[in-house]
Structure formats: C-alpha cells, structure tokens
Chains A and B, each alone.
Chain A
Amino acid sequence: MTLAIDLASWALILAGSFFILAGAIGMMRLPDVYTRMHSASLIDTMGAGFLFAGLMLQAGFNQVTLKLLFILLLFFFTGPVITHALAQATLTAKIEPELDEDRRDRSLDSESPPTEEGRRP
C-alpha cells in the first residue's frame, strides 16, 4: 500500500515538474506577451496542480493536506484574475498581439458566409 502511494506520488510529482519546466521554457521562447501569458498559466494550473497532488499523497490526511488545498484554491481563483487584468492593461497600453492575419476589421455580414460545400470537413 505504501509502495502504491509512493509510485502514484512519483508519477504526479514528475508530471508536475514536467509542466513547470514546459511553462518556464515557454516563457523564454514564445514571441509576445499574450502567448507568454498562456505558458505562465501552465505553471499555475497543471504544474502546481500535479505537484501539490503528489505532495498531498505524501502528506497523508491531516492539516498539511488542507493547507495544500488552500494554496491550490488560491491559485485557482487568482490566476484567471491576474491574467485578465494583465491582458486588459496590455491592450490599454496599445500593445498589439502578433497576428498571422488580422481579422478585426471584417464584419460578419460583409464577408460571404461559409457555405456547406465551402466548409472543410
């Protein structure tokens, strides 16, 4: 039973470490602020979630598990708030996202609507 918990904990902690590293590498390599927000959210959600799930398995069922759960809840609520505020402040500062094709000036009516035969399967 202890071995099973240890193995599950290893798997969860390794998954968490992988997502934390992936998010950090994304922060280094992605081109602009908006894409970097995406990879920062990877650290907040998947990385912290898997890592703390692994730690919870190691802690057993006591006060420490409750504290870990509280920190996870804090991340769960503050992460989207901070990302939203940051995106709004960035747009207010007139920093444009890097787009492959700018579709903002197209209205839905002026363009020909996608027909059934024109739509790709």
Chain B
Amino acid sequence: MMFAVATVAVIAALVLVVIRVIKGPTVFDRVLAANSVGTLAILLLAVLGFLNGRPEWLDLGITYGVLNLIGTLAILKFFRHGDLAHDAEEDA
C-alpha cells in the first residue's frame, strides 16, 4: 500500500515535469526538466520494483543514473561551446 502511494506521487510529479519539458521557454529549462525526468524515472523504477516484489530492478536504476549524468553533461557542453570536442585551452 505504501509503495502504491509513492508510485502515484512519482507519476504525478513526472507529469508535471514533462509539462515543463514541453513548455520550457529556453533550452536550459528543458535540460533541467529532462534531468529531473531521469531522476524521477529512477525513483519510479525503485518503487515499482518494491511494489512488484522484485527489487532487482534497482540495477537498472543505477545504470540509468550514470547514463543520465553523462547525457546531461554532454548536452550542456554542446550548448555551451557549440561542439562536443571542445578544447578547454581555447577560451576560458
């Protein structure tokens, strides 16, 4: 029962954050909201694993967290410098 409550809360939060991804006026709003979607997906995986009695799904959560970090940093580097192969020595 307590897992069901947490599942409903996480899904409601996901809906609100996805609305921000769609609405967000700047690209940075979208990056921030997409990162929050990744975090909430990990939480949803964990809670759903407990709800179905299969907490092994947490492994997927760990993998998804690392992918989320790499993806967000790659997107931010692209929008800051214009390319992914930017040399840090070129400009500060």
Interface residues of B (CB under 8 A from A): 2-3, 5-6, 9-10, 12-14, 16-17, 19-20, 26, 28-29, 31-33, 35-36, 39-40, 42-43, 46-47, 50, 55, 58-59, 61-62, 65-66, 68-69, 72-73, 76-77, 79-80
Question: Quick check: which of A53-61, A101-109, A111-119 contacts chain B, the rest being far away?
Answer: A53-61
Is residue A68 within 8 Å, beta carbon to beta carbon, of the partner chain? yes
CB–CB A28/B20 < 8 A? yes
- Inter-subunit contact A85/B69 (CB<8 Å): no
Q: How far is the CB of B23 from chain A (nearest CB, A)?
A: 9
Complex CA gap A48/B42 in Å reads 9
Interface size bracket, A side: 35 or more
Contact B55 A33 (CB under 8 A): no
Shortest beta-carbon distance, A33 to chain B, in Å?
Answer: 5
A-B contact pairs, 29 of them (CB 8 A): A13-B3, A13-B6, A14-B2, A16-B9, A20-B9, A21-B13, A23-B13, A24-B16, A27-B16, A27-B36, A28-B16, A43-B13, A48-B42, A51-B6, A51-B47, A55-B47, A58-B50, A59-B50, A59-B55, A71-B42, A71-B61, A71-B62, A74-B62, A74-B66, A86-B28, A86-B35, A89-B76, A95-B26, A95-B28
Residues of A near B17 (CB, < 8 A) are: 24, 27
0 or 1 for each of A11-26: is its CB under 8 Å from B? (1 = yes): 0011011101101110
**Interface of chain B: mostly helix, strand, loop or mixed:** helix
Which of the listed residues A9, A40, A58 has the most CB atoms from chain B within 10 Å of its own CB? Answer: A40
Q: Which of B5, B55, B61, B69 contacts A17 (CB 8 A)?
A: B5
Is the beta-carbon distance between B28 and A68 smaller than 8 angstroms? Answer: no
B80 and A93 within 8 A (CB): yes
Binding site for B on A (CB under 8 A): 6, 9-10, 13-14, 16-18, 20-21, 23-25, 27-28, 33, 36-37, 40, 43-44, 47-48, 51-52, 54-55, 58-59, 64, 67-68, 70-71, 74-75, 78, 81-82, 85-86, 88-90, 92-93, 95
